[in-house]
Structure 1
Amino acid sequence: MRSVYITRVSKFLPNEPIGNDEMEGVLGMVGDKPSKARAIVLRNNGIKRRFYALKNGKRTHSNAELASIAIKQLFDEKLPISKLQVLTAGTTSPEQILPSHAAAIHGQLGINQRLELISASGACCSSMQGLKYAFMAIRSGEADVAVSVGSERFSSWLTADRFQPEVENLMQLEANPYIAFEKDFLRWMLSDGAGAALLQPTPNEEGISLKLEWIETTSFANELETCMYAGSVKNEDGSITGWNDMDVPEWTKNSVFALKQDTRLLGENIVPKGGVYLAELMEKHGLTVDMVDYYLPHMSSEFFKKQIFEHHERIGMNIPYEKWFYNLPQVGNVGSASPFLMLEELFHSGRLKKGDRLLVMAPESARFSYAYLYLTVV
């Protein structure tokens, strides 16, 4: 088994950053009324700006384009993209059911060679699941150059026109003409962008590389019901009914394809279950707080920061805040791209020195999956 190194990391964030006061002007007001949830959500999540692949109500980039731009930045004359062999891609927001997201990116890259592709389905953990496949491909000797990318184009799901049929239906029923909090909540949480990592069996000759010591993922779907979902509705018994089992008019009348989240279930489980898994990994890998120089937690909201810190304390992983590194306030919650965006910023910050050890945490609330990545700077 060979060693595996992240030798380059890149990002692409589309257009100009959007501040909190500009969001509703870009996304629009549902039912021509300001959101009741917006101020509360923004006050708690700590996000100051985000990026949208959207201008004047029109798309500027597809999800595959965002990913392909980030990927191309990993290559140059010294290492041309013609050397790429394996591409893994994760996203929450693919633009089609078929072909796969990785295939869409491959086509968008405009390269001459065929590739081995893996599309990881899911939410924030999908890019980490793809990264594990790339890690195993390099480690086993099946490939010498692999790229893992996480990308999102949430903005197309968040614009007011997507919810207008539901609001009009509510008005006809003389009901409260506001979309439910479970849908409105996520309109103020999510951002567009892409992050990518290049994996090779040897480190850079100049500068730093990140040696992948281990990457672990798990799912608690056997214990917990669905929390974040799209293309379905959640029933009173906790089960979900998918779009293909609904009448077509219901798709728009109830904003079935909107991204929704059960915030009660999220608050009760997202931090504790992540701690349960981390405690298991501490035992498995002999991991202690002294073995972490930088902690990169992907958080959907700064609301969870104190909870994560306190829960880590209870399991003996009391990582002080000065070791935390995240960029949620500056780039927003970019789902599957967020772990790579944190790594990219730290990798190019000039702060890392050889021997530093990084622990990356990526939770996914869809049905509670978690990924932890441990790296050493070499």
Structure 2
Amino acid sequence: MTAAHFAAKRLKLLGTGRSLPGPPVSNETLCEALESACHPRAGRRARSIAYRLGITHRHVSRDLHVPLSGTRITMQAPQLCHAALFEAMVEAGIDIASVDYLIGHTSSPHTLLPPNIAWVADELQYTGPYLELRQACTGFANGLQIASAMAAANALQAIAIVGSETGSPYFGMSDAFLSNEQLVNYVQMGDGAGAVVVGQDDGSEDQIISHIFLGQIGLGREPGFFIEGGGSSQPQCSMQVPVFRHHVQTVREHGGELFVRGVEAMVQRGHSLGEFDWILPHQANGHLAHLFSQYFDVPEEKIYVTADKLGNLGSAAIWVSLDLLRRSGNLKKGQRVLILGAEASKFLFGGFVYQH
């Protein structure tokens, strides 16, 4: 069994925030745009995929009326991050001058260099140190592990973490670009940013993040999700833009195992799914509550899912969903949430426990 690494220290959650670009985009709007730019059958295929994924809406930062949206993006990644961080800082009762360290994680940065978080720092007028993780759906777990060690070792009072994705501009509205995997990306993925502000463990049981873990089972496996083009191994982009390759069958075969490994990691620590009031898994599709409930034999109503209305937000998914759950009124004081992340790039799993 693959071991997960658990952080030794807890964190205090001081605030959460989220930002989504523009109004929600329905399947019909998305497919009509595709039909206008491509063959009508592309829209029919996209509708069928969206139905199977259980996704009805998502937010996108691109202009759907141009084939390639690189020059017409309605809300850039640094702006989304700024808005999400501002919400988190408001709840925490601090301003940017009180943030000791800024951590970002994304697979779709504003630029490759400087990192996305550098542009976020500019937006925030932040003069302190920052770092960025080039990760997708489990970037939150690595960010928390780093924050946990930093807070404990350096007595830091406020560390801000933001996960974001603006992947929609990578999609080309043309028949030449279309494949089944790209149509899956088109309807499954959404854009947005989610943020948290965390600090040192205060010894209480209120708003505590604990059991932060991360592991991987990707050794020797081909990536399930990766970016083709733009890297040093292949700087040229054959389709004009870097392409998010999505090996749907590989993800289908191995993706579920990531949740199993996450649950096993908690069981090894003496916990069971039954002791948690809520379970918040990575938001891969709108049917996840039903699928997770069936496989792990837990009540479906305990599983919090937002993918039906937001799509898969990648690096932003866990933070956005946690913010929505905390602000929904359904999460009561003292309740515990098990967060389970799953990333198909090279098959990482991670998570944490949040006590409200």
Q: TM-score range by the shorter chain?
A: 0.7 to 0.9
Residue in 2 that maps onto 1:43? 51
Query: Residue by residue, what CA displacement relative to the aligned partner does 1:205-232 show, whole Å, maximum 9, x if unpaired?
Result: 9xx9520111111111214211111125
User: How big is the shift at 1:277?
Assistant: 3.9
Residue in 2 that maps onto 1:279? 264
User: How big is the shift at 1:44?
Assistant: 1.3
Residue in 1 that maps onto 2:69? none
CA distance in 1, matches of 2:35, 2:148: 42
Using structure 1 for the length normalisation, give the TM-score: 0.82
Residue of structure 2 aligned with 1:90, choices 97, 105, 109: 105
Contact 2:266 2:272 in 1 (8 A): no
Bigger CA drift: 18-27 or 71-80? 71-80
User: How big is the shift at 1:338?
Assistant: 0.8
Larger-gyration structure (1/2): 1
Change (3 A) 1:124 1:28: farther
1:127 matches 2:140 = yes
User: How big is the shift at 1:37?
Assistant: 2.9
Residue in 1 that maps onto 2:238? 252
1:228 matches 2:207 = no
Contact 1:271 1:307 in 2 (8 A): no
Residue in 2 that maps onto 1:193? 192
Residue of structure 2 aligned with 1:325, choices 285, 301, 304: 304
1:308 matches 2:316 = no
- What is the number of residues matched between the two proteins? 341
Change (3 A) 1:295 1:247: closer
CA distance in 2, matches of 1:243, 1:102: 19
CA distance in 2, matches of 1:19, 1:152: 19
Residue in 2 that maps onto 1:170? none
Residue in 2 that maps onto 1:173? none
Residue in 2 that maps onto 1:265? 250
1:357 matches 2:353 = no
Change (3 A) 1:328 1:203: farther
User: How big is the shift at 1:127?
Assistant: 2.8
CA distance in 1, matches of 2:179, 2:89: 45
User: How big is the shift at 1:204?
Assistant: 12
Contact 1:271 1:304 in 2 (8 A): no
Contact 1:27 1:158 in 2 (8 A): no
CA distance in 1, matches of 2:303, 2:288: 13
Letter in structure 1 aligned against 2:246: Q
1:340 matches 2:319 = yes
Residue in 1 that maps onto 2:178? 179
Alignment of 1:161-176 (within 5 A): 163=174, 167=176
1:70 matches 2:84 = yes
Change (3 A) 1:223 1:374: farther
User: How big is the shift at 1:360?
Assistant: 0.7
Local SS of the residue matching 1:47? coil
Local SS of the residue matching 1:97? coil
Contact 1:87 1:134 in 2 (8 A): no
User: How big is the shift at 1:267?
Assistant: 1.0
User: How big is the shift at 1:21?
Assistant: 0.3
Letter in structure 2 aligned against 1:360: I
User: How big is the shift at 1:131?
Assistant: 2.4
Query: Residue by residue, what CA displacement relative to the aligned partner does 1:290-329 show, whole Å, maximum 9, x if unpaired?
Result: 32110011231135544433432xxxxx321121112111
Query: Residue by residue, what CA displacement relative to the aligned partner does 1:339-362 show, whole Å, maximum 9, x if unpaired?
Result: 011110111122222221110111
Alignment of 1:290-301 (within 5 A): 290-301=274-285
Using structure 2 for the length normalisation, give the TM-score: 0.87
Contact 2:17 2:194 in 1 (8 A): yes
User: How big is the shift at 1:278?
Assistant: 2.0
Residue of structure 2 aligned with 1:217, choices 204, 214, 238: 214
Local SS of the residue matching 1:276? helix
Runs of 4+ residues over 6 Å off in structure 1: none
Letter in structure 1 aligned against 2:166: R
